[in-house]
Amino acid sequence: MLKTFLIGIKDLRIAFRDRAALILMLAAPFVLTLGLGMVTGRFSGNSNNGLADIPVVIVNLDNKELGNALADVFRSEELAELVEPTFSADPEAARLLVDEDKSAAAIIIPAGFTQSIIPSQNAFAPGSPEPAVIPVEIYANPSRPTSSGIIKSIVDEFISRVEEGSLSGQTSILQLMLSGRITPQQAEAAGTAMGQRLQDAPNNDTLAITLNSSTADGKAVQFDVLAYLAPGMALMFLMYTVSYGGRSILAEKTQGTLPRLLVTPTNSAQILGGKVFGIFLTGTAQMLILIGASSLLFQLKWGDALGVIALVLAAVFGATGWGMFITALARTPAQVASVGSAIMLIFGIMGGSFISLDQLPPVVQNFAKITPNSWALDGFTTLGLGGTLADLSTPITALLSMGMILFLISVVLFGKKNLVQK
Amino acid sequence: MPNILEVQNLAKNYGDFQAVKGVSFNIEEGEIFSLLGPNGAGKTTTISMLSTLYIPTSGDAIIAGYSITRNPMDVRNAIGVVPQDLALYEDLTAKENLIFWGQMYGLSGKSLANRVDEVLEQIGLTDKAKDRVKTYSGGMKRRVNIGVGLLHKPKLLFMDEPTVGIDPQSRRAILDTVKELNQQGMTLLYTTHYMEEAEELSNRVGIIDHGQLIAIGTQKELTKQVGETETLMLHISENDDPETLVTAFKGIKDVLEANVVNHEVSVITHSAKDVLAQVVTKANERGIKIHSIDIREPNLEAVFLHLTGRALRD
């Protein structure tokens, strides 16, 4: 175990002394993120993240204060570039648009939604039952997970704000009633007025452009174009790093250090384990440096720290599996380099590093599921939209399974190649 | 002295090709034993089997009481290996290389640090210890390559042609290091295709050719096989046929043997001066001009020539 660790550390050190590798591992993704950020207007405040004009259909059956407020959020100037809302009176027609992939999601605001949040005067009468909240329905398009996730986040944020306002409003009204300052008849009018103030409050500017739920301290997190671009680039160049690491396995054979390792009291499993650990360490270091640098220099919020760490580890694990698989198939370090570069680009494009997967054909979207880029990017988008570790079970499970399966195949292939002993 | 290495009918096949054909020999503690043979003779394959890198097709060897086939890990603890080609991490410094390889031999902490410093001193690279290996000259790299094999103070050190491709000065330094290590009590198995190195270093020599150990003994014992002979080496023009001379020389009374070696003609005799005049006459009679003649005392080259009919450098 110790030797495995030592071999891994040695590989990490060598990787970070290779200037050419450093350029591709760190400088290239950073510069590309910077460039794409400029192209999309991130640094001029005119953000366009490639997720523009998300089609969403809104059915407002409520037609009261809160239903109208939610519809207005989607009509707001701040979201004009991001979403392209259409309005319908028929829920079935709206769902059909989603089924036909003409819309990323349908938001169906049911009749009585406002009433269920801002209760009538009877609700405050002693002994009256707790009013049941009528939920807003979001009919999401499964083939557009990122876009529908953004729509859901906008609605979640709105609901979260309304619930906060409702709870504090109800508490205040109850206090006023108990103190005798207002009568139950005045309570409904007071509640409506509070709802209206909530809608008109200055911080509703934030509400209107917020794509994410509130953070623990109650401040809203804005969706940032770089929160999509930076992980996309980092993940693409992570594939370079794992192929670089895989190449080092074959390079050790040709440069004579693998045979030399094999005549020390170190067994083959320790050596192979050490090489895998080295790839994993290097990939993790690369991702964490890129995350750290983009946080510091671009003020990029990656989201829940625990979730980011877990996702990075899972993504690097999945990518390392690919690195091992490529190495197991190749005969020479040069072959690993060529195949690795090709896979880096293919996975980068198909995994959504440049273009949101939602904008790619369904065939490509299905193919993308074999790439660590796609799953990890999905996870980073979730985190960027305010998700936490608990929301990452699907991408993390997929990445870990991917890594495990590829490791097993690679070990079998390495065994057949008789890499270590003649 | 007891044997530290006992090789028993060790063989290695690659398909139908027999790289090593059942070699057997022993090495006593404290001696330098050289395996001398031309390129492709089976020296590296033999060392690779003894160091547990290759699995023998048949046979076995016992090193410091452990079988290479049954107790490879124990064998690895007992031996040090200096491979023919450099096997170092060039992006690491000499010190980092030594630390890493020391760790692979199970050294750690203060004992590792002390040992690394000792080895750096021994290979004369203390001042350059913090430079990356890729900035070193070929000779310096060779010294680090040797240093790695010494870290854990092995009972038996295998050195596989450590002087190939380096300048005379570095070669001299390596040969001196080998002798110094031996004086400190280390046992060495040294492979080479340079006769002079085997002659200078070895207590005993095994001559290997085409995967077979064809002779073994001290230099004196081996040269006795050729007898008290001298060898004349005749250098002739590229356009002349050396076989014509070989046939002619075999007719001279005191000539024991005549062969063609790299377009030169070798003549083995008890007394070079007795046959010299006749050799020149025979060549003139056939219109072949002799450019030069060397007279050589019996040595390992002559032994190899005697045993195989070929020169070591063939």
Claim to verify: residue B9 and residue B126 sit in the same structural domain: yes
pLDDT at A229: 78
Nearest by CB to residue A257, choosing from B54, B73, B87, is B87
Closest CA in chain A for residue B83: A260
Domain presence at residue B24 = yes
Strand partners, A172: none
Nearest Cα residue in chain A from B56? A422
Subunit contact B54:A421, Cβ cutoff 8 A: yes
> Is residue B110 in a domain?
yes
Lowest pLDDT segment from B28-42, B109-123, B293-307: B293-307
Residue B68: CATH number of its domain: 3.40.50.300
Residue B266 phi, psi (nearest 5)? -105, 135
For the record, the structure tokens of B83 come out as 């491979």
Q: Identify the contact set of chain A against chain B, taking CB-CB distances under 8 A.
A: 3, 6, 10, 13-14, 17-18, 255-257, 259-267, 421-422
Residue B90 pLDDT grade (very low, low, confident, very high; cuts 50, 70, 90) = very high
Residue tagged 């010294």 (tokens): B143
Query: At B246, which CATH number?
Result: 3.30.70.100
Residues B130 and B258 in one domain: no
Q: Which residues contact A398 (CB under 8 A, 6 or more apart)?
A: A318, A369, A375
| Boundary-marking domain end, from B220, B236, B262 | B220
In a domain, B125, yes or no: yes
Cβ-nearest to B87 among A18, A260, A422: A260
Q: Quote the strand ranges of chain B, DSSP E.
A: 3-14, 17-28, 32-36, 58-63, 66-67, 79-82, 156-160, 187-192, 204-209, 212-217, 230-236, 255-261, 264-269, 290-296
Map residue B266 onto helix, strand or coil. Answer: strand
**Domain end (from B194, B220, B246):** B220
Cβ within 8 Å of residue A346, ≥6 positions away:
none
Q: Are residues B210 and B138 in the same domain?
A: yes
Considering only CB atoms, B76 lies closest to which of A13, A257, A263, namely A263
Say how far apart CA A231 and CA A383 lie, in whole Å.
Answer: 11
| Token pair of A250 as six digits | 């074959």
Does the beta-carbon distance from B148 to A260 stay under 8 Å?
Answer: yes
Walk me through the domains of chain A, giving residue ranges and CATH numbers.
2-41+224-417 (no CATH), 54-209 (3.40.1710)
Q: Please indicate whether, in this complex, the C-beta atoms of B91 and A3 are within 8 angstroms of each other.
A: no
Task: Reply yes or no on whether the pLDDT at B314 is more than 70.
Answer: no
pLDDT at B216 over 60: yes
Question: Reduced to 3 states, what is the DSSP secondary structure of residue B262?
Answer: coil
Are B173 and B36 in a shared domain?
Answer: yes
Range B268-291 average pLDDT: 89
CA-based nearest distance B46→chain A, Å:
13
Averaged pLDDT of chain B: 90
Is there a domain that residue B307 lies in?
no
Q: Are residues B178 and B119 in the same domain?
A: yes
Q: Can you give the residue range of the structural domain that contains B40?
A: 3-220
Least confident of A287-291, B25-29, B189-193: A287-291
Q: In chain B, which residues have their Cβ closer than 8 Å to the Cβ of A421?
A: 53-55
Whole-number Cα distances in Å, A349 to A22, A48, A342: 22, 19, 11
Does B112 share its domain with B202?
yes
Q: Is residue B302 part of a domain?
A: no
| Better pLDDT: B150 or A204 | B150
Q: Which residues in chain B have their CB less than 8 angstroms from residue A257's CB?
A: 87-89
CB B98 within 8 A of CB B116: yes
**Computed from CA positions of residues A342, A344, A349, A354, in that sequence, does the dihedral angle turn out positive or negative?**
negative
Asked if residue B240 and residue B135 are part of one domain, the reply reads: no
> SS3 for B189?
strand
What pLDDT score does A193 carry? 60
Å between A312 CA and nearest CA of chain B:
28
Total number of domains constituting chain B: 2
Same domain, B177 and B246: no
Phi, psi of B165, rounded to the nearest 5 degrees: 75, 25
Residues of B with CB under 8 A from a CB of A: 48, 51-55, 73, 76-77, 79, 81, 83, 85-89, 91-92, 96, 100-101, 103-106, 132, 148
Of A13, A260, A422, the CB nearest to B81: A260
For chain B, percent of residues with pLDDT exceeding 90? 58
Report yes or no: B131 and B165 within 8 Å, Cβ to Cβ.
Answer: no
Of B175, B196, B220, at which residue does a domain stop? Answer: B220
Nearest to A263 among B51, B96, B100 (CB): B51
Write down the pLDDT at residue B230.
Answer: 83
Joined tokens for residue A421:
């002993």
Per-residue pLDDT, B132: 94
**How many Å apart are CA B205 and CA B190, to the nearest integer?**
9
Q: What angle do CA B197, B202, B206 make, to 5 degrees?
A: 95
Is there a single domain that holds both residue B281 and residue B174? no
C-alpha angle B177/A7/A415, rounded to 5°?
A: 105
422 residues of chain A, pLDDT tens digit each: 789 999 999 999 998 888 888 887 787 887 877 777 676 655 555 444 456 678 899 999 888 888 888 888 888 887 887 788 999 888 999 988 888 878 888 899 888 888 777 765 555 555 555 556 678 888 887 666 667 777 877 887 787 777 766 555 555 555 555 556 556 566 556 556 655 555 554 444 333 223 333 333 334 444 566 777 788 888 888 888 888 888 888 888 888 999 999 999 988 888 888 988 999 999 999 889 888 888 888 777 888 899 999 999 999 999 999 998 998 888 888 888 888 889 888 888 888 877 777 777 778 888 888 999 989 988 888 887 778 888 888 999 999 999 999 999 988 888 776 655 55
Q: What is the largest CA-CA distance in chain A?
A: 93
Residue from A105, A93, A89, A101 nearest A56 by CA: A105
B237 closest CA partner among B183, B283, B180: B283
Please give the span between the terminal C-alpha atoms of chain A, in angstroms, as a whole number: 25
Q: Do A265 and B73 touch (CB under 8 A)?
A: yes
Q: What is the DSSP letter of B202?
A: -
Minimum distance, in Å, between the CA of residue B48 and any CA atom of chain A: 9
- CB count, 10 Å around CB of B247? 13
Q: Are residues B258 and B205 in the same domain?
A: no
Are B215 and B247 within one domain?
no
Beta pairing, strands B230-236 & B290-296 = antiparallel
Residues B208 and B169 grouped into a single domain: yes
Taking an 8 Å cut-off on Cβ atoms, the answer to whether B83 and A256 are in contact is yes
For tokens 């509400």, what's the residue? A207
Residue A179's pLDDT is 57
